[in-house]
């Protein structure tokens, strides 16, 4: 099949692109013509240490295949270093069109045993890291009237997973960030979406068991690369990708129970209607806070 989705003249930043999923995104974006900032701190899976090797190896791979890329070794976790990653794109390639917030670490612990340091370390990389890189990139994209963001969440953040309160909270926070970037970016053709991947990488090698052989990180790549493209018109959405399945997560809302305008129901009355309140056999997918308020307005009118 010939490539119809291309990235000529586009500049992409992929954080945490020295291995695992990020490497796949960087290689394919570059193969399709993007100039890529391959950012990676090069530390261990729990965040310790740093090395230039991981980012350099991916840049070498891209250049050997005839593509264009530069390495960035800054950590996403500080505002100044986040800004330096965007500066790298501006210095090397004059612009930034695409940001894939992908860098991540794990510090799993059951909630009762989790230290404040373990909470901070994970939130600093995943959630603050996405703010630190997106903020300067968004300002630039707004000026030029074009941008694509993909933020990396996880089923752990969307649905919950034992031992991952820090990671799950950070990953759910990324959905909040993406939703607002989608709304604030809309009139500048800035689109912001979320990916929840499932793939065998160093981060998941001890967790996937029998599934490990069936979830190649390359299989996540097409969804992310599409969301980065000019062809992608969708924004404010969350996609799951892994093991060859591509699907959409969404936040739905049922009609619920309407107690009546300007009326405070008793606790017992509310309890009587609990199944109606919980019933998800029919629902809508409101696209913003305003849409939820509109749904309420509809009930006032009826
Ligand atoms: N593999 C999965 O099944 C899965 C599932 C859900 C979410 N994710 C998310 O996907 C993303 C990629 O993870 P992966 O599975 O490829 O693991 P990975 O460990 O191979 O990749 C993460 C990369 O981020 C880099 N990194 C870590 N801290 C950094 C920092 N402060 N600044 C810059 N780079 C940093 C690491 O060096 C590493 O190369 C992560 O955000 C992860 O949470 C992965």
In a domain, 6, yes or no: no
- Pair (275, 220) in one structural domain: no
pLDDT for 301 equals 85
Query: What is the pLDDT averaged over residues 33-43?
Result: 98
3-class secondary structure, 80: helix
How far is residue 24's CA from residue 200's CA, in Å, rounded to a whole number? 12
Q: 0.95 exceeded by the pTM?
A: yes
pLDDT in tens, 134-170: 999 999 999 999 999 999 999 999 999 999 999 999 9
- Pair (259, 245) in one structural domain: no
How far is residue 34's CA from residue 287's CA, in Å, rounded to a whole number? 31
- Pair (152, 257) in one structural domain: no
Q: Tell me, in angstroms, the distance from the centre of ligand 1 to residue 45's CA.
A: 8
What are the CA-CA distances from residue 69 to residues 86, 221, 234 (Å)?
A: 14, 18, 27
- Pair (41, 157) in one structural domain: yes
- Pair (245, 261) in one structural domain: no
In a domain, 176, yes or no: yes
Q: Where do we find the tokens 């394919």?
A: 28
Which position among 25, 167, 188, 246 bears the catalytic label? 167
- Pair (257, 244) in one structural domain: no
List 100's β-bridge partners, or say none: 14, 150
- Pair (168, 292) in one structural domain: no
- Pair (209, 258) in one structural domain: no
Q: Tell me, in angstroms, the distance from the centre of ligand 1 to residue 144's CA.
A: 29
* Residue 278: pLDDT band with limits 50, 70, 90: very high
- Pair (106, 148) in one structural domain: yes
Q: Tell me, in angstroms, the distance from the centre of ligand 1 to residue 74's CA.
A: 15
* Residue 1: pLDDT band with limits 50, 70, 90: confident
Side-chain half-sphere CA neighbours of 268 within 13 A: 0
In a domain, 5, yes or no: no
What are the CA-CA distances from residue 192 to residues 17, 106, 178, 216, 296 (Å)?
A: 19, 24, 6, 25, 27
Tell which residue, 67, 54, 73, 70, has the closest CA to residue 27: 67
Contact 156, 240 (CB under 8 A): no
Index of the ligand 1 atom closest to the CA of residue 76: 32
Q: Whose CA is nearest to atom 18 of ligand 1?
A: 20
Q: Is the pLDDT of residue 298 over 90?
A: no
Q: Whose CA is nearest to atom 7 of ligand 1?
A: 154
* Residue 24: pLDDT band with limits 50, 70, 90: very high
How far is residue 256's CA from residue 276's CA, in Å, rounded to a whole number? 6
In this structure, of 42-46, 120-124, 271-275, the range with the lowest mean pLDDT score is 42-46
Which residue range forms the structural domain that includes residue 296? 253-301
In a domain, 36, yes or no: yes
Q: Is the pLDDT of residue 206 over 90?
A: no
Q: Are strands 283-284 and 253-254 parallel, antiparallel or unpaired?
A: antiparallel
List 109's β-bridge partners, or say none: 164
In a domain, 4, yes or no: no
Is ligand 1 within 6 A of the CB of residue 166? no
- Pair (162, 230) in one structural domain: yes
Query: What is the pLDDT averaged over residues 198-209?
Result: 93
In a domain, 81, yes or no: yes
Mean pLDDT of the chain: 97
Q: Where do we find the tokens 């989705």?
A: 5
Q: Is the pLDDT of residue 6 over 90?
A: yes
Total domains present in the chain: 2
Q: Where do we find the tokens 């029998």?
A: 210
226 is catalytic: no
- Pair (209, 297) in one structural domain: no
- Pair (66, 104) in one structural domain: yes
Burial (0-12, 13-18, 19+ Cβ within 10 Å), 89: buried
In a domain, 186, yes or no: yes
How far is residue 216's CA from residue 21's CA, in Å, rounded to a whole number? 9
**DSSP string computed for 177-199:** HHHHHHHHHGGGTEEEEEEEEE-
Residues across the chain: 302
Is ligand 1 within 6 A of the CB of residue 53? no
In a domain, 179, yes or no: yes
Contact 84, 74 (CB under 8 A): yes
pLDDT in tens, 217-255: 999 999 999 999 999 999 999 999 999 999 999 999 999
Structure tokens at 58: 């991916």
3-class secondary structure, 211: helix
pLDDT for 207 equals 87
Residue 72 belongs to a domain with what CATH number?
3.40.50.720
pLDDT for 242 equals 98
Is ligand 1 within 6 A of the CB of residue 102? yes
Angle, in degrees to the nearest 10, between helices 53-64 and 20-31: 30
Query: What is the pLDDT averaged over residues 100-105?
Result: 98
Name the residue of 13, 14, 15, 16 to mutate for ligand 1: max ligand atoms within 8 A of Cβ.
16
Q: Tell me, in angstroms, the distance from the centre of ligand 1 to residue 238's CA.
A: 18
- For 7, left (φ over 0), alpha (ψ -120 to 50), or beta? alpha
């Amino acid at each position: 099949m010939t490539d119809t989705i291309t990235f000529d003249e586009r500049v992409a930043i992929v954080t945490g692109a020295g291995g695992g999923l990020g490497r796949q995104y960087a290689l394919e974006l570059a193969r399709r013509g993007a100039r890529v900032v391959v950012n990676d701190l090069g530390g261990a899976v729990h965040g310790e240490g740093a090395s230039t090797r991981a980012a350099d190896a991916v840049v070498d791979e891209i250049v050997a295949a005839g593509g264009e890329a530069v390495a960035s070794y800054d950590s996403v976790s500080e505002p100044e270093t986040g800004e330096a990653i965007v500066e790298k794109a501006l210095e090397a390639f004059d612009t930034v069109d695409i940001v894939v917030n992908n860098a991540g670490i794990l510090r799993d612990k059951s909630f009762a045993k989790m230290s404040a340091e373990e909470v901070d370390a994970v939130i600093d990389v995943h959630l603050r890291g996405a703010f630190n890189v997106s903020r300067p990139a968004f300002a630039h994209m707004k000026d030029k009237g074009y941008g694509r963001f993909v933020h990396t969440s996880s089923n752990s953040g969307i649905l919950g997973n034992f031992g991952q309160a820090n990671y799950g909270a950070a990953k759910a926070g990324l959905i909040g960030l993406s939703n607002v970037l989608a709304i604030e970016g809309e009139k500048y053709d800035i689109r912001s979406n979320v990916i929840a991947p499932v793939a065998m990488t160093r981060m998941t090698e001890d967790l996937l068991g029998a599934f490990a052989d069936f979830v190649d990180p390359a299989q996540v790549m097409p969804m992310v690369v599409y969301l980065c493209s000019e062809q992608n018109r969708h924004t404010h959405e969350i996609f799951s990708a892994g093991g060859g399945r591509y699907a959409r997560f969404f936040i739905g809302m049922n009609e619920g129970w309407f107690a009546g305008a300007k009326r405070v129901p008793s606790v017992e009355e509310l309890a009587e209607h609990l199944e109606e309140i919980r019933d998800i056999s029919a629902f809508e997918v409101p696209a913003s806070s305003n849409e939820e308020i509109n749904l309420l307005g509809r009930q006032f009118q009826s």
